Chain A
């Protein structure tokens, strides 16, 4: 059996530049594997070692995701091999399309019984790919897992939700998205980095199916940052505090206490 981890090769939107016409250019943003995906790979590594399984990474992205520097970076984190679909036409694949192509890759792994994913991606952050992936595969799916362990023919997941702490047992096959603190990822060591080039990386240049589109873009714009007053209040703590309280009171903000439960 193989344990699969879905990962992304993407840049941080904070480093992207947005044109006046709303177009987003990631050119100056160095792509990488996010800290969330690194956690998922670490959880996968721990599970694969416990089960004596292979750990396979799957990834969909622009051409850069298939470049050796990207596949080696992923392999250096602890994957045994990677399957990547990389083509620039896939750079703007939406959530649903990404999940579809990933599910096809999971099918290609053949003996996959468990797919792990990170909490969210750095660039899009929709937190929906694991759910759609699970739905496409027809596998039991849960998210926000704080821990995952193998148990007989299933996995036991622990997580903390707003309503309390839960322990779940899932029958395999399953898709589990892990919380950002489910494991502390080990930074790749020298041997991992130098050995990464020897592990298999299968890069496919075209999606194995026609994925679902993401709608027709009618227009784009830079995010309208709400106009902020930018009133600077300086001075010693007592004076500044007094001035702020006065301003908030004048704006009627100090009588609206309380929460709407």
Chain B
């Protein structure tokens, strides 16, 4: 069992870190205050291949292993949780299902433009009345000739404002969760509208939009998998997404931790830097340990996925642990900063607000516990 990163993985980490320090960090506070997406960075991220990591080389992606992908997401999140989720939602929730469930025609039509970043992807499962209870989705898809007609609404869809390709889960029959199907929907479909983004506590730069479908006609050729496969596709997709969100949480925590360490070394009270106070030292030790534990869980989940082994429970553990850890570490980081950490002048208050969403989206902490318990009690 090797714990060392390969040379490529180390170089990926250094390269994305270099990019994040130069191009992501300066925008992080700006997009947070302005509640807007980092549109000006999307072409630069595309040039680095950040939108093609989970797309095979034959379709223009880099065919990166999951662990390299996870490292890249963490490095982005270390500087800005929003940049990280733009990439994660596009990659894990849109590219991945097309790669794994798409027909040859669907892959050829969509993967190259997604990999190049020419089109950004999104994933639409959640509805106002169907969050954790995703199986109760009510958006309908009624077959009409060689098209499906979609009617309904989705909420909280990441990347909505600027995405061009949406994986939409809609009901094709009344059979509960088994009555759901997945569709690839182009943004310019008549009858499909993207609503104004939510104003949120954190990841404020991430566009989180409601979607509306009124008689929106989608070619039957765009149905992903068979009728009735929608729920299974969504669950498999979210399985992989878990590791991505765990990585985002690790990155948020790492960024907050580094800020706290810098601050502790500089802040002088009682004639010496607070880093020399045992209370601070213990907080730093606890933060460092829990970040490392979370990172290892995340890397292991990614490595299991790469090895073709069953990674569902491990990915759930990683997401559960890292999300809770990120919230704790961000809170501790503010504590180290004292009053200063509560102001917008320091980055830790944003880390605290950003961390919270990792406990909620792509499967709440409670859902993760259900998955882990189910596996453990089998």
Contact partners of B109 in chain A: CB under 8 A: none
Among residues of A, the one whose C-beta sits closest to the C-beta of B20 is A187
Instruction: Count residues on chain B whose CB falls below 8 Å from chain A CBs.
Output: 22
Any chain B CB within 8 A of the CB of A256? no
Any chain A CB within 8 A of the CB of B39? no
Contact partners of B64 in chain A: CB under 8 A: 190, 194
**Bound CA span A194–B12, Å:** 8
Any chain A CB within 8 A of the CB of B22? yes
70-102 of chain A: CB within 8 A of chain B: 72-73, 76
Any chain B CB within 8 A of the CB of A197? yes
Among residues of B, the one whose C-beta sits closest to the C-beta of A76 is B11
**Bound CA span A68–B8, Å:** 9
User: Which of B8, B16, B19 counts the most A-chain CB atoms under 10 A from its CB?
Assistant: B8
Any chain A CB within 8 A of the CB of B53? yes
Q: Shortest CB–CB separation between residue B46 and chain A, in angstroms?
A: 9
Among residues of A, the one whose C-beta sits closest to the C-beta of B22 is A187
Overall SS of chain A's interface: helix
**Bound CA span A187–B24, Å:** 13
| Inter-chain CB contacts under 8 Å: number | 58
Any chain A CB within 8 A of the CB of B289? no
Any chain B CB within 8 A of the CB of A229? no
Instruction: Tell whether A189 pairs with B7 under 8 Å between CB atoms, given A194-B63, A194-B64.
Output: no
Among residues of B, the one whose C-beta sits closest to the C-beta of A195 is B62
Q: Shortest CB–CB separation between residue B42 and chain A, in angstroms?
A: 14
Contact partners of A186 in chain B: CB under 8 A: 47
Interface string of B7-39 (1 = CB under 8 A from A): 110111011101100100000000000000000
Q: Shortest CB–CB separation between residue B78 and chain A, in angstroms?
A: 15
Is the CB–CB distance between A187 and B12 below 8 Å?
Answer: no
Among residues of A, the one whose C-beta sits closest to the C-beta of B46 is A189
**Bound CA span A68–B5, Å:** 13
**Bound CA span A189–B22, Å:** 14
Contact partners of A192 in chain B: CB under 8 A: 15, 49
Contact of A187 (CB < 8 Å), options: B10, B19, B68: B19
Any chain A CB within 8 A of the CB of B315? no
Instruction: Tell whether A188 pairs with B7 under 8 Å between CB atoms, given A194-B62, A194-B63, A194-B68.
Output: no
Q: Shortest CB–CB separation between residue B321 and chain A, in angstroms?
A: 27
Is the CB–CB distance between B62 and A188 below 8 Å?
Answer: no
Any chain A CB within 8 A of the CB of B121? no
Contact of B14 (CB < 8 Å), options: A73, A190, A194, A197: A73
Any chain B CB within 8 A of the CB of A106? no
**Bound CA span A197–B11, Å:** 11
Any chain B CB within 8 A of the CB of A193? yes
Contact partners of A193 in chain B: CB under 8 A: 8, 11-12, 15, 68
Any chain A CB within 8 A of the CB of B50? yes
Contact partners of A228 in chain B: CB under 8 A: none
157-216 of chain A: CB within 8 A of chain B: 186-194, 196-197
Is the CB–CB distance between B11 and A187 below 8 Å?
Answer: no
Contact partners of A189 in chain B: CB under 8 A: 15, 47-50, 62
**Bound CA span A191–B62, Å:** 5
**Bound CA span A188–B53, Å:** 14
Contact partners of A68 in chain B: CB under 8 A: 7
**Bound CA span A32–B53, Å:** 24
Any chain B CB within 8 A of the CB of A240? no
Is the CB–CB distance between A190 and B47 below 8 Å?
Answer: no
Any chain B CB within 8 A of the CB of A29? no
**Bound CA span A190–B116, Å:** 12
Among residues of A, the one whose C-beta sits closest to the C-beta of B51 is A190
44-58 of chain B: CB within 8 A of chain A: 47-50, 52-53
Any chain A CB within 8 A of the CB of B224? no
Contact partners of B11 in chain A: CB under 8 A: 69, 72-73, 76, 188, 193, 196
Q: Shortest CB–CB separation between residue A249 and chain B, in angstroms?
A: 30
Any chain A CB within 8 A of the CB of B76? no
Contact of B10 (CB < 8 Å), options: A69, A190, A194, A197: A69
In addition to A188-B11, A193-B11, 5 A-B residue pairs with Cβ atoms within 8 Å of each other are A76-B11, A187-B48, A189-B49, A190-B48, A194-B63
Which 5 A/B pairs are nearest by Cβ-Cβ distance?
A190-B49, A189-B48, A190-B62, A189-B49, A69-B7
Query: What residues make up the interface of B, taking CB atoms closer than 8 Å to A?
Result: 7-8, 10-12, 14-16, 18-19, 22, 47-50, 52-53, 62-64, 68, 72
21 A-B contacts (beta carbon < 8 Å): A68-B7, A69-B7, A69-B10, A72-B7, A73-B14, A76-B15, A187-B18, A187-B48, A188-B11, A189-B15, A189-B50, A189-B62, A190-B50, A190-B53, A190-B72, A191-B62, A192-B15, A193-B12, A194-B12, A194-B62, A194-B64
